[in-house]
Amino acid sequence: MKTLLPIILFCCVCFSVAGQQRPQFTQYFQNNYLLNPAVAGIESYTDIRLGFRNQWVGLEGAPRSLYASIQASLNKNDRNLPSKKSRAQEFGKRKTSVNKNNRFHVKPHHGIGAVAQMDQAGLLTMTSFNVSYSYHLPLTGSLNLSSGFNTGFVHYRLNRKDLDLVTPDDPFLIEFNNINKLDLGVGLWLYNRDFYVGVSGIQLIRSKSDISFANNPRASLQPHYIATAGVKFPIHKNLNVIPSVLVKMAESGMTTVDANAKMIFADRYWTGVSYRHLDAASVMAGINVNYFFDVSYSYDFTTTDMSRVSANSHEIVVGFKVNNKRRTICPEWIW
């Protein structure tokens, strides 16, 4: 067998009853839409994100993950945009000043989006594609609630060409030969200008083929339940500190916790640190180059015995704000 270790490693991490199947990203807060479909359409522009993660560099067959996402709002209120009335209509009318706080009042609106992901580890590749819908409803003048769902598919493929089997008829490996699964997720997102709280469930569909037997192992999608929250503390006119937390639990009971702290300078530059319980610590930084483009990078220091055989992990996220009529540099709702 050319490489048995990566297969065993990946299957233990992602497919056993004690593991999690979803790719993990240190910079999840740069794209909470990956974790919760209710986030779709939260900003006033079309948000496009590209992310790539190279995990455990130096370890043969280590996971590599990438994604592309797009999400946008429909019929969102843009009170601060210039009036579209003609000059004749505006002539003679008193010019009123714009209340800057109006931009934090959300009109009921819809959100749509789509995300494609690929995760490769050893000889096993996972590909998924989901589309989503959300609805945003103001509860008070400043507090808003959105709900959403996504649906799509997950495809698993085993590269059998590069695999030399000691047991050719191994039922476990035969089972992992091009598997297709339906996917369904739901979520809620409570937010205002200073905090957000979200809960979601993903991979909620179960099928008859997901049933496992002692002598006939099956590849099943395990439901995952996610909770996340963040708070923005203004320290200075041009400095905000944002602590956030992510809790992710698989149906098997395995739980991971991420704690983060992020500082944003002048709504343009940011830096932060993160800690994933019993896994890694991270440093990260990013820049909102202008109202169209932003980029960020993170470096993970592995805190487990895996550090003996790998050179830690790298992750980069690139974002594009399309149709950004307000010329927003820093996101208004998810910072």
Q: Is pLDDT above 60 for 86?
A: no
Cα 298 from Cα 293, distance rounded (Å): 18
**DSSP one-letter string for 38-92:** GGTT-SSSEEEEEEEEE-STTSTT--EEEEEEEEEEES---TTSPP-S-HHHHTT
pLDDT tens readout for residues 247-306? 999 877 788 999 999 999 999 999 999 999 988 999 999 999 999 999 999 999 988 887
Q: What is the pLDDT of residue 196?
A: 97
Six-digit token string for 33: 């839409």
Six-digit token string for 125: 């590749």
C-alpha separations of 68 from 24, 50, 104, 124, 306 in Å = 14, 5, 28, 20, 28
Domain membership of residue 27 (yes or no) is: yes
* Residue 194 CB-half CA count within 13 A: 5
Domain membership of residue 234 (yes or no) is: yes
Q: What is the domain-level CATH number for residue 286? A: 2.40.160.40
**Percent of all residues in the chain with a pLDDT value above 70, rounded to a whole number:** 77
User: What are residue 189's DSSP bridge partners?
Assistant: 146, 198
Cα 155 from Cα 149, distance rounded (Å): 20
pLDDT tens readout for residues 11-20? 433 333 334 5
Six-digit token string for 22: 């979803």
Domain membership of residue 65 (yes or no) is: yes
- Cβ-Cβ contacts under 8 Å for 137 (sequence gap 6 or more): 108, 144, 145, 146
Domain membership of residue 218 (yes or no) is: yes
Domain with 176 in it: 5-77+106-322
Domain membership of residue 96 (yes or no) is: no
Q: Average per-residue pLDDT in the chain?
A: 82
Q: Is pLDDT above 70 for 160?
A: yes
Domain membership of residue 129 (yes or no) is: yes
Q: Which of 38, 9, 2 is nearest to 228 (CA)?
A: 38
Cα 34 from Cα 68, distance rounded (Å): 10
Cα 132 from Cα 334, distance rounded (Å): 18
Cα 8 from Cα 6, distance rounded (Å): 6
**Percent of all residues in the chain with a pLDDT value above 90, rounded to a whole number:** 57
Cα 169 from Cα 227, distance rounded (Å): 41
pLDDT tens readout for residues 113-138? 999 999 998 888 899 999 999 999 99
Q: What is the pLDDT of residue 83?
A: 41
pLDDT tens readout for residues 161-185? 777 767 666 666 666 667 888 999 9
Which residue has better confidence, 281 or 94? Answer: 281
Question: Cα 30–312–242 angle (5° rounding)?
Answer: 30
Domain membership of residue 253 (yes or no) is: yes
Domain count, the chain: 1
Domain membership of residue 266 (yes or no) is: yes
C-alpha separations of 177 from 78, 166, 214 in Å = 50, 17, 19
Q: Is pLDDT above 60 for 96?
A: no
Rounded to the nearest 5 percent, the helix, strand and coil shares of the chain are: 15, 45, 40
Average pLDDT over residues 145-158: 93
